[in-house]
């Protein structure tokens, strides 16, 4: 029987989306925890196959106790060389744990919608090893970015927020984008947080849905292959 994967979520009704579904298809149970609402995080990941920390409307710079607890806790998978995947806020928390800055765009710009992703030479090396190219465009919902920490590899870049994907050690990754989003999630986010679509740089709802039809098939293929290698690298 395969070990469960820890899923750290930040809102009461958040779901692990496509990442959760793909891991379940691989035979992993999902150990869902919400530290914001009082759930404890494990002292070790010895009984888990890995951990995924998802996004949320809060900032890695917020003073809340649960934010500080999660940032400190990231030392557990790093020390144990367990697969860690940080998505948006989870990537920013990884960067902050490693001493890098998390910052708002100086012109107040946001990335909400589909934007280009440009792999670095290190990112190209990994995609060659994985056997799947990086997506050309990926889905975003954020107005903060992060610097690449010392000791991490920059794997992909972008325009307004240059750090888009980092690798740390054998099996820790931070992705500024959201490969886990489903069509239903995009519809929900663009309705419940419609006011965010007025931010500079944000795409309107129609453009986001058009972008999904254009770009998501490749994102879906990439994520499917990436998760296999992410889990295998941690087990190696």
**How far apart are alpha carbons 111 and 157 in whole angstroms?**
13
Residues recognised as catalytic: 88, 178, 180
Q: Which helix (H) or strand (E) holds 8?
A: strand 5-8
What was the pLDDT predicted at 234?
64
What was the pLDDT predicted at 236?
55
What was the pLDDT predicted at 233?
77
Percent of residues in the chain assigned helix, strand, coil, to nearest 5: 40, 20, 40
Query: In order of start, what are the domains of the chain with their CATH numbers?
Result: 5-235 (3.40.50.880)
Spell out the residues 6+ positions from residue 198 whose beta carbon is closer than 8 angstroms to its own: none
Q: Which pTM value belongs to this model?
A: 0.97
Spell out the residues 6+ positions from residue 128 whose beta carbon is closer than 8 angstroms to its own: none
Show the low-confidence residues of the chain (pLDDT under 70). 234-236
72, 105 contact by CB (below 8 A): no
| pLDDT tens digits, 4-42 | 999 999 999 999 999 999 999 999 999 999 999 999 999
Q: Which helix (H) or strand (E) holds 185?
A: helix 183-192
| pLDDT tens digits, 117-132 | 999 999 999 999 999 9
């Amino acid at each position: 029987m395969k070990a469960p994967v820890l899923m750290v979520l930040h809102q009461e009704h958040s779901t692990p989306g496509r990442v959760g579904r793909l891991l379940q298809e691989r035979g992993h149970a999902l150990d869902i925890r919400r530290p914001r609402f009082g759930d404890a995080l494990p002292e070790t990941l010895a009984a888990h196959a890995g951990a995924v920390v998802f996004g949320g409307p809060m900032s890695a710079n917020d003073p809340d106790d649960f934010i500080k607890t999660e940032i400190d806790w990231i030392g557990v998978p790093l020390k144990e060389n367990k697969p860690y995947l940080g998505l948006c806020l989870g990537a920013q928390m990884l960067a902050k744990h490693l001493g890098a800055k998390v910052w708002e765009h100086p012109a107040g710009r946001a990335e909400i919608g589909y934007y280009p992703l440009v792999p670095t030479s290190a990112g190209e090396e990994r995609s060659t090893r994985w056997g799947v190219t990086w997506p050309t465009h990926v889905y975003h919902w954020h107005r903060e970015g992060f610097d690449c920490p010392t000791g991490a590899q920059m794997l992909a870049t972008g325009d307004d927020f240059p750090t888009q994907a980092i690798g740390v050690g054998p099996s820790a990754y931070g992705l500024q984008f959201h490969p886990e989003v489903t069509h239903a999630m995009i519809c929900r986010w663009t309705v419940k947080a419609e006011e965010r679509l007025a931010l500079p740089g944000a795409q309107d709802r129609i453009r986001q849905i058009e972008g999904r039809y254009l770009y998501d098939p490749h994102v879906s293929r990439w994520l499917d292959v990436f998760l296999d290698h992410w889990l295998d690298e941690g087990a190696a």
